[in-house]
Structure 1
Amino acid sequence: MSDLSNATPTGTYRLQLGRDGFGFAEAGELAPYLASLGVSHVYLPPILQAAPGSTHGYDVTDHSRISAELGGEDGFRAMVASFHAVGLRVLLDIVPNHMAVPSPTSLSPAVDSVVREGPASPYARWFDVDWAAGDGKLVLPGEGTPNYRRFFDISGLIGLRQEDRTVFEQTHELVLRLVSEGLVNGLRIDHPDGLADPRGYLDELAMGSGGVWTVVEKITTGAETLPVDWHCAGTTGYDSLGMVGGLFVDPEGEKPLTETYLSFTGGVVDFAGVEYAARRYVLDQGLRPELERLQDVLARAMPDRRPERLENALTELLAAMPVYRTYVVPGEDAPPEAVAVLEDAARWARSRLPAETHDDLDAVVALALGRGDPPSPEFVVRFQQTSAPVAARGVEDTAFYRWSRLISLNEVGGDPGHLAVSPDRFHAHCVRLARDWPGTMTTLSTHDTKRGEDVRARLAVLAEMPGPWTRAVNRWHYRAAPPGLPGAARPPIEPDLEYMLWQTLAGAWPVTGERLSEFLSKAMREAKTSTSWADCDPVYEEAVLGYARRILADDELITDLTGFVSLLEPYARVNSLGQKLVQLTMPGVPDVYQGCELTGLSLVDPDNRRPVDYEQRRARLARMDDGGAPQDLDDEKLLVTARVLRLLRAWPDVSAAAYRPVRASGHAAEHVVAFGRGPRLVAVATRLPVGLERRGGWRDTRMEVGGGAWRDVLTGRLWQGSRLRLGDVLGSLPVALLQLDNGSDGSSRE
């Protein structure tokens, strides 16, 4: 392989360390398999010393040491040597926004010092602490209301002040040393929206790392895009995840699915209202300390205004924010995008406020844009650091568990209120990425996705089969009614959660009782309607879990469920392979989440962090490399993944190649999405397979690819001509990756 030390990755593979004894040594043993799969970089979670027993590494306790539990620095170096031996390089996830608060079993030199010495500690500048609120002390969890900025509403994680150059240098010294030594060749930045100045942080990081390839976990929503002045290659891919997933959902299913959802749950048609209520809930509950601190800053900035009116205006403005945050830097003119965001939020907030407070709202907006008289730099920064957790906790971790019309859409950065993505919208997204962010990451699954990519692919079929789904879910509901109750009676589970439960069973089947109980426990606590993490109702929770156990013990119901899933599976196969090919070949650097080169029917964490059977994957890949034909969907998905990743690694210029939509004509043209990467590569995927079957297949549908001989990278078959029949090209697989091969002899397919 060529030297990849300073190159943009061609493909990454995310590993999870820390669970079930899986550390550096075990990761290093995967080097031959990952090289054979075709990736260029192994994508690691945070590796710095974390809290004892950490299974994810985001709770860092010591920035000066590599995790002893994972194998320490010697183990890390040995693992990297194994990767280098087969041409692999390392992408490292780092956590600049926060670290762990110490507990009796968790020592953190920096935080411990601040606990003992307060503002006099040499580490006091590291943390965003309201010393006055704690009488000069750091108030720890269990000792009162936390007086420090937290990561979201998690009191066990304390915010870091990376805007202070000394803090940046001290917390990044080890990581930047690993970069300078060539042991780390790319960086993934966790939650940049928590930082006081993301742009300034990325500038510092680029300077310290020599401009190593860096992506940021920036969640964009709606039409929002990554700020153009950020010194990075792009995002970690949630924007593309939503685009790719929506491409395989039938917009014609929106009306019948909505009707079924409303009939089953008695819920509301408008997700926006659910989102607003959830945002208000987290502001009034979990994020109350952050809101009160922000209100204090606001009151000091505007002493002549009535505090209660300012507080109402501020709360409504935060609840109405359409994105995570703006990017206003004190002392600079607010970017036009920030002005538009806050004006949009103000319009919504104004509709919920009495007329006499509108002037107060306008004053708050002006202050947030840095236009106050006098300005308040602290308010500008703290407003942005508060709006981000409101979005994350209010929308993704609350509203997404309260509104379950089609749960495959309830993903990070997504909008469940919009069912589908048209091919034209998808193509526009790809054209923009190729132009502005060609080195961005793309993904379908991460350690934070609510459901695995193949669960979502199966659930997407429901939009094409709303009738059978409606009949099935009503049948199961009546069958599962508790003994002694009439068939139409409600079970002891909230309607939205029950509707989510049936979709979960259909999407992830087969699923064990343990996995299902773990999912339901998290789902009902995240919804925060009948129980929550902070205020648990064990009676309700046991009733829900008992209901789930009765379902799994009902042989007749399970036989019915299994039959319904079998009905979905042929179409789910098309969606799984289609979305995988699209994600791997669209503009950007494709990431494969651990294990997802095979079918991944995982649920929200920790379910999606379970151990992966790599021996099975090695054996399957070796068999197909020896000429064996794919035997099942797992083989087919592995084939697509490996063949594409290997081509990208051998032909790294693809990532920078021009993107062009490829059009089809004929009666089934709407059932294909195709695009070219430069003049020599065309990706083809089937979409909406149920509708295609109802149309009688491809028949006369053709695709314009340009003259020459085209070899399918996936099957090896050769096609000649400029207008290829899709029925031929997609005869054995519902996807194809055509590479121009003008020097070959091919059979004509005109």
Structure 2
Amino acid sequence: MTPERPDPAVPTATYRLQLQPGFPFAAAARAVPYVASLGVSHLHLSPVLEAVPGSGHGYDVVDHTRVRGELGGEEGLRELARAAREHGLGLVVDIVPNHMAMSPRHNPALWEVLREGPASRYARWFDIDWEAQGGQVLLPVLGGPLGAELERLEADGGVLRYHDHAFPLREGTEGLPLPELLDAQWYRPVWWRLARTELNYRRFFSISELIGVRVEDPEVFEATHAKILQLLGEGVIDGLRVDHPDGLADPDGYLRRLHEATGGRWTVVEKILSDGEPLPASWPVAGTTGYDALRHVDGLFTDPAGSGDLLGRYRRFAGPQPDRGGDWDATVRRAAYQVLTHELAAEVDRLTRVASRLCATSPEPALRDRAPWALRTALLELLVRLEVYRPYASVDASAVVTEEAAAEARLAFAVPEEAGAVDVVRDLVLGRYGDGPGHVEFRTRFAQTASALRAKSVEDTAYYRYVPLLSANEVGGDPGGPAVSPERFHAYCARVQRDWPATGTVVSTHDTKRSADVRAALHVLTECPERWADVLAGVTGAGEGAPDAQLAWAAWQTVFGLGTAEEERVREALLKHVREAGLYTSWTEREPSYEEAVARFVAAGPCGVPGGRVTAFRASLEPHVRANVLGAALVHLTMPGVPDLYQGTEHEYRALVDPDNRRAVDFPSGPLGSSGPSAGPGTEADAAADAATASDVKVAVTRAALRLRARRPEVFGDAASYAPLTAEGPAAAHCPAFVRSGEVLTAVTRLSLRLAEAGGWRGTRLPLPPGRWTDVLGRGREFTGHARAADLFERLPVALLERLPD
């Protein structure tokens, strides 16, 4: 089924701003003239609804009925919208349907639930298992066991206090002695470590501070979306980015309801597609937020042979065990087992209880006499073998929970008859035993647990253990096969143009672990793995001075990608790296001596004198880094889809994982240049030509491409076309190119270091479609018939051509 496409106000390009108390609506309004001068059509705002005070991101919503006061409130948002309109910009806003902050003193709905229990009018809002934990919501907030923390709990004026926490007291319990008072509440404060196994509410991944919201309930949907829908209806905002739809009970139903409620506004979803996984065709959205595009753009600039060579050198240098960073698939599998038995143990227990109840009460003989341990084992073995985030109601679940996975899962059982639990679980997931409430609950819980598992085991664990090429370890990426051939890239773009022409595309976001420019530098290492190994041999003896060799490899790559940087930035990023990896320390089981060794190594090595040799090596490769930076930027801005620029990335932007990539940007006070996005063909060429002699070419290339999109939206939109061009000659593979609607041509330099080593372009040329073509990035140049690659890339490693009118 082809979805009904959202139509009104499809952006030509968006620009993401990270709002926070230090950068509120007023600051965003001051940036509007500059952002508009780049040529985008819409501002893309991080969440704007009321969040936990001081939040630097806004995904911890506490009140859906109010625009966040710390950002300037609703009037501030409306002022920003007016300023944007005056400069020809619309607004796209990030919304968070899956969860709210588990902060009762700031979350009015949650406060009432904790005070009144399941009888509260808000009880249906939250995904709480009231049958577990004796009917009390477990609150993992205590710093130690209750006995050790009891004296720090205090009841006062109808409120229970613990440090900065405050919880409402159930009516009529205020005067009870403290132990009895605690037993009488609808909640139970416990040691935070109990969250792993005892938690009885759904959360965001394994973050207990974010509680799941049941937007599948129409009443809850209406209550939590009323303000956003009002702002859409009044024209304050124009489109939506939906955060983490995979956590929802019914993403299909939610997106249909949202589409109807918004009247088909442009909406993209933060759906992480695994390699080869299609977006469900029935979803009435414009597409994804673009991590699938990121994977293909990055892969285009990665050398397939060199990445394999780099992997071999990494294994010799670091000596990792196969399942602890030596082999990608084995590392993912081990991480998944660990996450399921530790961080998501409570979710697995709940899923096992549902399955056990179904089996015990089912009239189907095949379901009877299944021991809970066998069902739990079957669940674990199937979940760890999923290669995508989750199944959906609109997609055949057998393509996700495959028979091949089931066959492998059965091998975990010593007795064949007990292995039948695998078939029971798989059949329940596939819906072969009906659609009763219990069966729907099981399928829902399975899908939600699978989504959390994939995110935690791959993005937050395996990416930090398997580190031969850090630029491949990005959201939606495939570190086991990071390179993408030009042919495969063109096939991807053709599918996007055909199926999802208004999808979002990105190369840097607030969630990328390294910005696009850092990754662009790291791609170059796949073109010179032997030289990289020589550099490492000169700065360290196979990890000498570092707590472990895997960390050393990742640390030296971090400095190469980032270049010279403050020690604090590198240290904090690497401490996050080792805690996420969980091999020698973790967020919950800190190993102080190891972390101190990491800090010493960073200071003495990557950020010390030896680090200078790595940054000097990077400097020697700067022309090739530049080719990747500009190539990725131009491909992103002209490929099918709606490009989203992350704040500041129109310039050179080197950032590491959050919070490093969420630092405030110092925007110019006025527009960049004097011409607007409606200017004629010559203007972009002049601006780019002038900037080509300046230090920051990237902003000129970015502005030229964006203004061209704004001036000629029909060339890039829904009805546009995409056609690959094939260069001719000995270096043809180094010149991927494509044409949009027969009117705009993009060509970039791929693997420029390999190209130089092979002797350059050597007569390679690019056949052009009929007509005269002018260089948008260089003053006065025209091409007809064909372009010699040496001429095309004479001044810049990228080219953007526009066909002149006949």
Counterpart in the other structure of 2:279: 226
Counterpart in the other structure of 2:521: 458
CA distance in structure 1 between the aligned counterparts of 2:513 and 2:605, rounded to whole angstroms: 22
CA distance in structure 2 between the aligned counterparts of 1:373 and 1:165, rounded to whole angstroms: 24
Count of residue pairs brought into register by the alignment: 722
**Given residue 565 of structure 1, which amino acid in structure 2 is its aligned partner?**
R
**Given residue 540 of structure 1, which amino acid in structure 2 is its aligned partner?**
Y
Counterpart in the other structure of 1:9: 11
Counterpart in the other structure of 1:381: 444
* Residue of structure 1 aligned with 2:705, choices 644, 649, 667: 644
Q: More deviation in 253-262 or 711-720? A: 711-720
Deviation of 1:617 (Å): 9.5
CA distance in structure 2 between the aligned counterparts of 1:136 and 1:337, rounded to whole angstroms: 33
Counterpart in the other structure of 2:210: 157
Counterpart in the other structure of 1:506: 560
- Change over 3 Å in CA distance of 1:554–1:73 after alignment to 2: closer
CA distance in structure 2 between the aligned counterparts of 1:633 and 1:260, rounded to whole angstroms: 38
**Given residue 566 of structure 1, which amino acid in structure 2 is its aligned partner?**
A
Deviation of 1:371 (Å): 0.9
Instruction: Determine whether 1:308 maps to 2:373.
Output: yes
Deviation of 1:495 (Å): 2.1
TM-score by length of 1: 0.93
Matched residue SS, 2:140: coil
Question: Structure 1: where are the runs of 5+ without partners?
Answer: 330-334, 479-487, 744-750
Matched residue SS, 1:69: helix
- Change over 3 Å in CA distance of 1:489–1:439 after alignment to 2: closer
Instruction: Determine whether 1:174 maps to 2:232.
Output: no
CA distance in structure 2 between the aligned counterparts of 1:645 and 1:170, rounded to whole angstroms: 38
Q: More deviation in 564-573 or 699-708? A: 699-708
Counterpart in the other structure of 1:275: 332
CA distance in structure 2 between the aligned counterparts of 1:633 and 1:235, rounded to whole angstroms: 35
- Tell whether the 8 Å contact from 1:15 to 1:44 is kept in structure 2 after alignment: yes
* Residue of structure 2 aligned with 1:358, choices 416, 419, 422: 419
- Tell whether the 8 Å contact from 1:620 to 1:635 is kept in structure 2 after alignment: no
Counterpart in the other structure of 1:535: 589
- Change over 3 Å in CA distance of 1:42–1:516 after alignment to 2: same
Counterpart in the other structure of 1:147: 200
Instruction: Determine whether 1:392 maps to 2:469.
Output: no
**CA RMSD between the two structures:** 2.0
**Given residue 309 of structure 1, which amino acid in structure 2 is its aligned partner?**
A
Deviation of 1:78 (Å): 0.8
Deviation of 1:718 (Å): 3.0
- Change over 3 Å in CA distance of 1:666–1:457 after alignment to 2: same
CA distance in structure 1 between the aligned counterparts of 2:243 and 2:790, rounded to whole angstroms: 44
Counterpart in the other structure of 1:71: 72
TM-score by length of 2: 0.87
- Tell whether the 8 Å contact from 2:318 to 2:543 is kept in structure 1 after alignment: no
Instruction: Determine whether 1:252 maps to 2:311.
Output: no
Counterpart in the other structure of 1:45: 46
- Change over 3 Å in CA distance of 1:651–1:260 after alignment to 2: same
CA distance in structure 2 between the aligned counterparts of 1:617 and 1:495, rounded to whole angstroms: 48
CA distance in structure 2 between the aligned counterparts of 1:627 and 1:147, rounded to whole angstroms: 58
Deviation of 1:152 (Å): 0.4
- Change over 3 Å in CA distance of 1:183–1:344 after alignment to 2: farther
CA distance in structure 1 between the aligned counterparts of 2:721 and 2:692, rounded to whole angstroms: 35
Report Cα offsets for 1:307-337 as digits up to 9, x if no partner. Answer: 11111111111111100000036xxxxx336
Counterpart in the other structure of 2:601: 547
CA distance in structure 2 between the aligned counterparts of 1:682 and 1:355, rounded to whole angstroms: 62
- Change over 3 Å in CA distance of 1:219–1:354 after alignment to 2: farther
Report Cα offsets for 1:362-407 as digits up to 9, x if no partner. Answer: 1111101111368611101110010000000011000100010101
CA distance in structure 1 between the aligned counterparts of 2:518 and 2:607, rounded to whole angstroms: 23
Instruction: Determine whether 1:119 maps to 2:118.
Output: yes
Question: Structure 2: where are the runs of 5+ without partners?
Answer: 1-5, 142-188, 191-197, 361-368, 676-682
Report Cα offsets for 1:633-669 as digits up to 9, x if no partner. Answer: 8621101111111111111112231111111110100
**Given residue 153 of structure 1, which amino acid in structure 2 is its aligned partner?**
S
CA distance in structure 2 between the aligned counterparts of 1:606 and 1:186, rounded to whole angstroms: 26
- Tell whether the 8 Å contact from 1:5 to 1:89 is kept in structure 2 after alignment: no
Matched residue SS, 1:220: coil
* Residue of structure 2 aligned with 1:714, choices 771, 777, 784: 777
Q: How does 1:284-323 map to 2 (within 5 A)?
A: 284-303=341-360, 304-323=369-388
CA distance in structure 1 between the aligned counterparts of 2:498 and 2:295, rounded to whole angstroms: 19
Question: Identity of counterpart residues, as a percentage?
Answer: 47
- Change over 3 Å in CA distance of 1:634–1:18 after alignment to 2: farther
CA distance in structure 1 between the aligned counterparts of 2:49 and 2:425, rounded to whole angstroms: 40
* Residue of structure 2 aligned with 1:264, choices 292, 317, 320: 317
Instruction: Determine whether 1:195 maps to 2:248.
Output: yes
Instruction: Determine whether 1:54 maps to 2:115.
Output: no
CA distance in structure 1 between the aligned counterparts of 2:262 and 2:425, rounded to whole angstroms: 38
CA distance in structure 2 between the aligned counterparts of 1:627 and 1:216, rounded to whole angstroms: 34
Deviation of 1:559 (Å): 3.0
**Given residue 275 of structure 1, which amino acid in structure 2 is its aligned partner?**
V
CA distance in structure 1 between the aligned counterparts of 2:285 and 2:702, rounded to whole angstroms: 26
**Given residue 568 of structure 2, which amino acid in structure 1 is its aligned partner?**
E
CA distance in structure 1 between the aligned counterparts of 2:608 and 2:687, rounded to whole angstroms: 44
Deviation of 1:141 (Å): 2.1
CA distance in structure 2 between the aligned counterparts of 1:554 and 1:262, rounded to whole angstroms: 25
CA distance in structure 1 between the aligned counterparts of 2:94 and 2:580, rounded to whole angstroms: 26
CA distance in structure 2 between the aligned counterparts of 1:477 and 1:365, rounded to whole angstroms: 50
- Change over 3 Å in CA distance of 1:678–1:355 after alignment to 2: farther
Matched residue SS, 1:697: coil
Instruction: Determine whether 1:594 maps to 2:594.
Output: no
- Tell whether the 8 Å contact from 1:573 to 1:633 is kept in structure 2 after alignment: no
**Given residue 264 of structure 2, which amino acid in structure 1 is its aligned partner?**
G
- Tell whether the 8 Å contact from 2:386 to 2:400 is kept in structure 1 after alignment: no
Counterpart in the other structure of 2:632: 579
- Change over 3 Å in CA distance of 1:352–1:573 after alignment to 2: farther
- Change over 3 Å in CA distance of 1:693–1:604 after alignment to 2: same
* Residue of structure 1 aligned with 2:403, choices 340, 343, 349: 343
**Given residue 556 of structure 2, which amino acid in structure 1 is its aligned partner?**
W
Deviation of 1:79 (Å): 1.0
Deviation of 1:724 (Å): 1.6
**Given residue 118 of structure 1, which amino acid in structure 2 is its aligned partner?**
G
CA distance in structure 2 between the aligned counterparts of 1:350 and 1:394, rounded to whole angstroms: 22
**Given residue 702 of structure 2, which amino acid in structure 1 is its aligned partner?**
T
**Given residue 719 of structure 1, which amino acid in structure 2 is its aligned partner?**
E
CA distance in structure 2 between the aligned counterparts of 1:562 and 1:234, rounded to whole angstroms: 39
* Residue of structure 1 aligned with 2:476, choices 406, 413, 422: 413
**Given residue 11 of structure 1, which amino acid in structure 2 is its aligned partner?**
A
Matched residue SS, 1:224: coil
CA distance in structure 1 between the aligned counterparts of 2:281 and 2:113, rounded to whole angstroms: 37
- Tell whether the 8 Å contact from 1:707 to 1:720 is kept in structure 2 after alignment: no
- Tell whether the 8 Å contact from 2:627 to 2:752 is kept in structure 1 after alignment: yes
CA distance in structure 1 between the aligned counterparts of 2:316 and 2:61, rounded to whole angstroms: 47
Counterpart in the other structure of 1:659: 722
